[in-house]
Amino acid sequence: MKFTTLNTIVEDILKILKGSVINSSDPISKRQLEDWVHQYRAKLIAQDINKRYYANPDYIQIIKDYPLENTHANDLWRTVNKLPKTIDLRFKSGITWLGNYATREEYTKVPQGREMFQAYKRYTSGSRIAFLEDGYVFVNNPDADITAVTIKGIFENPMEVIRLANPDADGSEPYPIPNSKVTTLKEMILKGEFGIEVAAPIDVTDDSKHNPTQIITK
């Protein structure tokens, strides 16, 4: 199955820019284009949520076995490091699942705050509780029987999540976006940042020699 990478998106945009006239004295860096890809992906997610009240699962990433440490307070354990920043999903966190990856046990996610945690604790019949506060995930872990938590969510910068598992990631890894949205993403960047409108499909990576891109510049 063909998958999209951050590199292919950036390379396609650069190819289109080389064939257009841009009124800019500043060179366009690959890093800047990468940042725009993340930003406009976030806009696409917002559009999905406004239309359907949920985001396409292809945007979701998984952080497996994120280490926990003891906070020495009410049997609460906390992730050692803060999570990469998530994209909020219509009045709720961008975290879509919290639990134990090995057993597939999903923890009960409650609103932020220890006071709320204590209130829910009385009614959960022994179920493990988790909540997000100040960028950390807290887990009720009275028996100290877990040392990590797995998190699924939609994150602002997908590369930050990818590099948690692979610090040497270079953008050639699968990028979390539906294939059907890639063309729209590129068109949004070209129009929003450069005033360029594309009059033909812009799948230039695979078949640009046979189907050259037509560009209309403003």
Q: Quickly list DSSP for 42-59.
A: HHHHHHHHHHHSS--GGG
Backbone angles phi, psi at 96, to 5 degrees: -100, -15
Q: How many helices (H) and strands (E) does the chain have?
A: 6, 10
| pLDDT for the residue numbered 211 | 44
pLDDT band at 166 (very low <50, low <70, confident <90, very high): very high
The residue with greater pLDDT, 49 or 189, is: 189
d(CA 179, CA 176) in angstroms, rounded, equals 9
Average pLDDT over residues 27-38: 92
Angstrom CA distances, 197 to 144, 192, 201, 202, stand at 57, 9, 11, 11
For residue 95, what are the β-bridge partners?
153
**Domain coordinates of the chain in residue numbers?**
6-57+169-217, 61-153
Instruction: Answer whether residue 126 shows pLDDT above 80.
Output: no
d(CA 128, CA 140) in angstroms, rounded, equals 6
d(CA 59, CA 106) in angstroms, rounded, equals 20
pLDDT band at 24 (very low <50, low <70, confident <90, very high): low
The residue with greater pLDDT, 201 or 183, is: 183
What confidence tens digit (pLDDT) does each residue in 196-207 have?
887 655 555 554
Rg of the chain on CA atoms, in Å: 21
Strands 196-198 and 76-79: unpaired
Instruction: Answer whether residue 135 shows pLDDT above 90.
Output: yes
What is the average pLDDT value for the chain, to the nearest integer? Answer: 84
| pLDDT for the residue numbered 110 | 85
Which distant-in-sequence residues (6+ apart) come within 8 Å of 14 by Cβ? 28, 30, 33
| pLDDT for the residue numbered 73 | 75
Instruction: Answer whether residue 212 shows pLDDT above 50.
Output: no
